[in-house]
Chain A
Amino acid sequence: MTFPDRIERIVEIAQPPAKVWAALTTAEGLSAWFGKEASIDLRPGGLARMRFDNGSIVHMRVERVEEPTAFGYTWQIYGLPEDDPRRTYVEFTLEPAGAGTRLTMVESGFAQLPEDAYRSAYDSNTGGWTSELGELVDYLNAAA
């Protein structure tokens, strides 16, 4: 098994970079092909979000804006809880190719390690809310 840390795709699109840029970086563009609804504050540090057909919402943070050649953002790792701080970084780079555009998409960071993957760190950590609740119950029982 090979653990994928990054996903990389290159696609050739028969449209000039300006059109591709608009599809990637505007609410109208994003909602036409990516999410069902989208909003975006296009500047580094700006927030964006998309709602998908299944009702799920993803929050993004714009990181890189170099019109019309590079657009990067971070977003939540698919499947992790919404409050999980880990993010993957997605970067689109656009290069003119004839009358069209060569678009490269790289999403990286899938193999970042959670703190508690370190067994020693975990073993020294007696936290976790189930144990906290257990302690609360023990405390209340002892007081009763």
Chain B
Amino acid sequence: MPQPDVEAIAEQVFVALADPSRRAILAALAAGGPATATDLAGRLPITRQAIAKHLALLAEAGLVTAEPGERRRVRYRLRSGPMRVAQQFLAALARDWDGQLDALKEHLDQQARGSGED
């Protein structure tokens, strides 16, 4: 099986999330489960036409998948795989080892000062 390109996957997620309408669509699918473009247009302040365009882009990027059905009744569902890849990228940024290791040094320095005074 070919190794998927993690960077490309994460990039697609971040590109998708850079647009407020697409964020709203993904958030609606995450919160409410699979929905048709018409369902989403009823819930969001975005035209059905614009939603259909964004869904096509999201499907192309692999972030949503269309369930089989008649054209107007196709339901879109979130695909979590790419999100998790992007999340791993964010996790590395959020770990904050610089802050933790500074705290470790500070702790040991304080201990040394404390024992020096005894």
Q: Which residues of A are at the interface with B, using a C-beta cutoff of 8 A? A: 1-4, 7, 9, 11, 13-15, 19-20, 23-24, 29, 32-34, 77-80, 88, 103, 105, 107, 110-123, 128, 130-131, 133-134
Q: How far apart are the CA atoms of A13 and B112 in the complex, in Å?
A: 11
**B6 CB–A CB distance under 8 Å:** yes
**B47 CB–A CB distance under 8 Å:** no
Q: How far apart are the CA atoms of A123 and B62 in the complex, in Å?
A: 11
What band does the interface of chain B fall in when counting residues whose beta carbon is under 8 Å from A? 35 or more
Q: How far apart are the CA atoms of A23 and B109 in the complex, in Å?
A: 12
Q: Of B100, B101, B108, which is in contact with the most chain A CB atoms at under 10 Å from its CB?
A: B108
Q: Are B97 and A15 in contact (CB under 8 A)?
A: no
Which residues on B sit within 8 Å (CB–CB) of A121?
1
Which residues on B sit within 8 Å (CB–CB) of A33?
100, 103-104, 106-107
Q: Are A116 and B95 in contact (CB under 8 A)?
A: no
Q: Are B77 and A113 in contact (CB under 8 A)?
A: no
Interface residue from B10, B82, B97 paired with A7 (Cβ < 8 Å): B97
